[in-house]
Structure 1
């Protein structure tokens, strides 16, 4: 009944406005973005013009945009002093849509007059209410300003954020409806040729945003793409089930005997919180409105992990060394797979113009659904992720859900969110196809894929932020237990940049899932004859120490001197599982091979101690190898090593005053130190105390 009366009221005011020959007048107030600057045929393709086509003849849309206008009355071009403002007042609109504030980020305006913004905005709103007391006021968060804009680094980015907060305050004080012009456009910098004015497509997104806000039509009931039959929900935690529906629509969610309801807000969003569900299979989830219903069957509750990275995570089970024996045994209805695969491989080929166009719209991944684990579904799934999930399921005896969105060759920066890079590493966004932060082969591969592109702004999975926007945002915060990650090959040339990026990536993902302790377990790069990999492997070890709630699986013993894709993936998946079983599920299991703790000088010997060093021995039964010591960094000598009481003792007569020690310091190494569980020691470099 509540929904019925909401809709009745909504229909009543629309009916009154559209009776007889009267039309609903919509005034679009704003700056050059409203005006349509940069759009070839702005009379037809500016956002107010496109909005007119969407609303139809019973609405009359007026464009009152003034290029360069500021909201601030002491700004360099105050909107209220412009002829367009007077014309907007005379229009006496029934609905006023205001988008101002972009030009207030100018150094001439915000630094001096920011304290006036809220009051100036309230006066503007009041002036429209004076000429039509019944008018609806919609105020918009301002559109993005790209990092390519010349003012971006001089304060615009921070001021932009402050203005958004001020607009929210204006909405709360005035009661004006708040609409979002920022979020829908932020992942699409290619729609801003000059980094500030949206093109025709971008204007269309603004028009759709306003259309939905005016009419309440958001396309009916919609759920995230991660909802399907066979899905796995995270057990033993409150779950947010959410989606979209037309404004005012009553939504009912049923699962496991629970019956929850919500009403879609003016922005079309709705959500309900489901009480924790115990581990189990064959649940049914139903989401319904009075008009439609969606039912998902064979739903499980268990442990959900996101499996991401580049080609070694993407590497499929059918490519694994043990595929012939593993695939026939892969039938397990308590393992569920959500396999996000790219529509086009990032191999050495030219993409078609259609592929490039789709990728530019972030439509890179194929549509997919949750599948139970069978020989067919497992064969085409990540081998590392499969072995990880299998060990978890075998140990926990609950359903396990695995989401894999890895992309071959992808860079760390491509998985990092745009705001983090804009705020902390803007240099990596600049001319990414030519700057040295992106590895040369990755830049060349991307340019080859995009060779047929006619756009000056090229989009590709290796581009900074791209895979976060194409592969993380669409997950829409689907509840997960944690992340496993295998990536770094495309960043191994610059460990300093990677160290900054990886911290931003982990922090950004934790913010996305609103979980500061989201577990993040990653694979240290393997052995390969690439000179930078020794330093890079050690930098990954240090990152594990710097970033809380992380763990690192060593893979150097499974490397291939010539192949960046070693084929024995089972140990890697299981080493990741060891970390999770130990730290997330409290299992009495050793999570890692020996990790360097400290090195001390005792008489004429160097004593090296390790975490997880119980039962130290060699993997091949031969003497320890690949330990070195030095007085001066860069001038190392091999050291004789022996194991004594779970410590490694080093001797050399070539270094009288040793200050540095390192182990496994070759790009391709067969260093042989393992612990009692047969897990290999990590590459390390340390100072002797």
Structure 2
């Protein structure tokens, strides 16, 4: 570590002559014998509460090791201290505050605010927080005018006893106030929240980080006060052989040392920017024509250059879900010929595979550690070859292949799927925390009925060899988002195809809240509020809850804008949750995208959709959209159509088909409800003229489809 610092300081001394003073924040004394003094001001997180040896394990102690012998770091943390001067334990009344002033630091790092979430503090004195913080900053400035950094607070997680009763909401209000203080007082702002928010495993009591967590704080502070962010790098989503979304500005971003000029060249265009105080940089280029090949060159400083080759521009889609999306092409029905013909340099595949499958096995310590550190997914962009395609999602590949054949542009597919994963694992943490229907899924998820018992049992088997109560797992709420989706955030895409729900079918009402939260979570992550999000309805299998679940999915497709549902009940298997007819599912997704998004003629907009049900003149009349006519797939009479009267008891009825309508002779019966295919394994046979199946459904009579329309909102 010292050697690394020595190398860095040599480079810094060369660079400092050519940049404005204090770009990096650190002020080095002119006298080489003096040490740069760093005061770490804060509460119990700074003090090192809960650590076995806080004198050497707290973040200030670890910061000392990172900075080396040229620095003197002192810990002035006081457990329980509040920023508020009228709080229950004001920092300005502590001995540590007095000692911090006497220390006459060259650099002051302040991390306060966590204890101000106490109900004794924020509800009563919130209006004084900004002024109190500014006065604290000024008291250090009057002392000897040091460089001052204030910190966005480290996280408070859902396990905190007051999380829902106030802490959650007040925490974020205080974060906003801290940012305002940094602007008002012109201090540096260090974000301790972002690098820790995806690591609840480091916080046994939901508040205090362990040794590794304190190390992350130390590293974050080190980077911000020195400007050393490890040099130039691109965000991990950018790779050789990638596909960039056409008709959209090409945005490249990453990290560099603070104050460094970053220059990038793409498609003959050159752009430059300066990495900010947090080491972040971003460059935006005009949309390049579809096709390729393109090259990206990014440089910073004298000897830092990144070169990416073989880049294409076209259509980029994400293929996500659990095992039926993960289902590999080589295992699909009738796939051998498809695999053999899979060579296509303009079809690119990014298969983000898990390092281990959640099979019925016990994971070893190496896997468990990688899972905790979010190193679960691996994969690189590859050209489509028989070998690459064979191991890619059968649904995803079939979807992309059909786009390639009909759009005549490159296509890139990004797969993020984990067999058995519940929907909550795909949703970001903040969405879960603030959704009143979902927040409780975070608590003790391994023993929480919101998570299907099979998922909890399988996770328990996988984690049997760990003694870490905070051990993470891909089935954990927010995990797949944090380990996989988050790395793609901000990367423009055309849309998402999603096949998931088997691990949530035990609680359809819960899914009715969770799925819209998922869609919103991803649209926010990709900064695309209208991003197409297409999903597959569960197929047929002898599992009792599936009729209800499929109907909830049908309703979700009607209520969430820019979503479409692919019906798969006709492709199910009564005994196997992984039916092999996956190529057909991918092609149905592609038909909808080609029609609705790309406006290519000759492709189905989707399957037949129940539009209305009325009872009139002794008949119940069902009318369908996306159907020039309704027919039966086997030329047999309509099966599995039932009606119920006032007694709520359903019975089978015969029906007559006329064009896009189905007529039921109700005689003198007042029909109150009607359902179709209402069996776990449905043998319903209604299709439109294209052979696309009618979704199973249950509706009350009368019924009128009400679908979300942007024009009405």
TM-score by length of structure 2 reads 0.94
Matched, 1:200 2:211: yes
**1:610/1:189 CA distance change after superposition, 3 Å:** same
Query: Paired residue for 1:42?
Result: 54
CA offsets per residue over residues 157-189 of structure 1, 9 Å max, x none?
110010000001001111001110101100111
Matched, 1:612 2:626: yes
CA offsets per residue over residues 516-566 of structure 1, 9 Å max, x none?
101100000000000100010010010011110100000000000000001
Match of 1:404 among 404, 415, 421: 415
Q: Quick one: distance in 2 between partners of 1:652 and 1:532?
A: 29
Match of 1:239 among 246, 250, 259: 250
CA offsets per residue over residues 167-214 of structure 1, 9 Å max, x none?
010011110011101011001111011110001100000000000011
User: 1:616, CA displacement in angstroms?
Assistant: 1.6
| Contact 1:598-1:686 at 8 Å conserved across structures | no
Q: Quick one: distance in 1 between partners of 2:515 and 2:31?
A: 59
Q: Quick one: distance in 1 between partners of 2:18 and 2:281?
A: 15
Q: Quick one: distance in 1 between partners of 2:414 and 2:217?
A: 32
CA offsets per residue over residues 612-643 of structure 1, 9 Å max, x none?
12122111122221111101475101110121
Match of 2:66 among 33, 46, 54: 54
Matched, 1:596 2:607: no
CA offsets per residue over residues 52-98 of structure 1, 9 Å max, x none?
00000000001000000000000000000110000000001100000
User: 1:593, CA displacement in angstroms?
Assistant: 1.3
User: 1:14, CA displacement in angstroms?
Assistant: 5.7
Matched, 1:109 2:140: no
Q: Quick one: distance in 1 between partners of 2:110 and 2:445?
A: 35
Query: Paired residue for 1:25?
Result: 37
User: 1:6, CA displacement in angstroms?
Assistant: 5.5
1:559-574 to 2 correspondence within 5 Å?
Answer: 559-574=572-587
Query: Paired residue for 1:224?
Result: 235
Residue aligned with 1:496, SS: helix
CA offsets per residue over residues 397-418 of structure 1, 9 Å max, x none?
1001000010000000011111
Q: Quick one: distance in 1 between partners of 2:164 and 2:404?
A: 49
Q: Quick one: distance in 1 between partners of 2:234 and 2:372?
A: 24
Matched, 1:624 2:638: yes
User: 1:18, CA displacement in angstroms?
Assistant: 6.0
Which residues of structure 1 form unaligned runs of 5+? none
User: 1:458, CA displacement in angstroms?
Assistant: 2.6
Q: Quick one: distance in 1 between partners of 2:121 and 2:37?
A: 32
Query: Paired residue for 2:486?
Result: 473
Q: Quick one: distance in 1 between partners of 2:651 and 2:371?
A: 51
Q: Quick one: distance in 1 between partners of 2:561 and 2:23?
A: 53
1:143-292 to 2 correspondence within 5 Å?
Answer: 143-289=154-300, 290-292=302-304
User: 1:114, CA displacement in angstroms?
Assistant: 0.3
Query: Paired residue for 2:3?
Result: none
Residue aligned with 2:468, SS: coil
Matched, 1:645 2:662: no
| Worse overlay, 509-518 or 201-210 | 509-518
**1:4/1:675 CA distance change after superposition, 3 Å:** farther
CA offsets per residue over residues 298-337 of structure 1, 9 Å max, x none?
1000010111000000000011111211100111111100
1:547-562 to 2 correspondence within 5 Å?
Answer: 547-562=560-575
Q: Quick one: distance in 2 between partners of 1:14 and 1:503?
A: 46
Instruction: Please report the RMSD computed on the Cα atoms of aligned residues, expressed in angstroms.
Output: 1.5
Residue aligned with 1:300, SS: strand
| Contact 1:18-1:24 at 8 Å conserved across structures | no
CA offsets per residue over residues 481-512 of structure 1, 9 Å max, x none?
11110000000000011111111111111111
Match of 2:427 among 395, 404, 416: 416
Which residues of structure 2 form unaligned runs of 5+? 1-14, 703-713
User: 1:426, CA displacement in angstroms?
Assistant: 1.5
Q: Quick one: distance in 2 between partners of 1:587 and 1:646?
A: 24
Matched, 1:513 2:526: yes
| Contact 1:633-1:660 at 8 Å conserved across structures | no
**1:470/1:441 CA distance change after superposition, 3 Å:** same
**1:222/1:13 CA distance change after superposition, 3 Å:** closer
Count of paired positions = 684
Query: Paired residue for 2:649?
Result: 635
Residue aligned with 2:417, SS: coil
| Contact 2:24-2:258 at 8 Å conserved across structures | no
Residue aligned with 1:376, SS: helix
| Worse overlay, 263-272 or 637-646 | 637-646
Match of 1:529 among 528, 542, 551: 542
| Contact 1:71-1:104 at 8 Å conserved across structures | yes
User: 1:645, CA displacement in angstroms?
Assistant: 2.2
TM-score by length of structure 1 reads 0.97
| Contact 2:644-2:673 at 8 Å conserved across structures | yes
Q: Quick one: distance in 1 between partners of 2:623 and 2:188?
A: 63
| Contact 1:575-1:591 at 8 Å conserved across structures | no
Query: Paired residue for 1:393?
Result: 404
CA offsets per residue over residues 271-293 of structure 1, 9 Å max, x none?
01111111112111111123221
Residue aligned with 2:446, SS: coil
**1:609/1:14 CA distance change after superposition, 3 Å:** closer
Matched, 1:450 2:466: no
Match of 1:139 among 125, 150, 155: 150
Residue aligned with 1:518, SS: coil
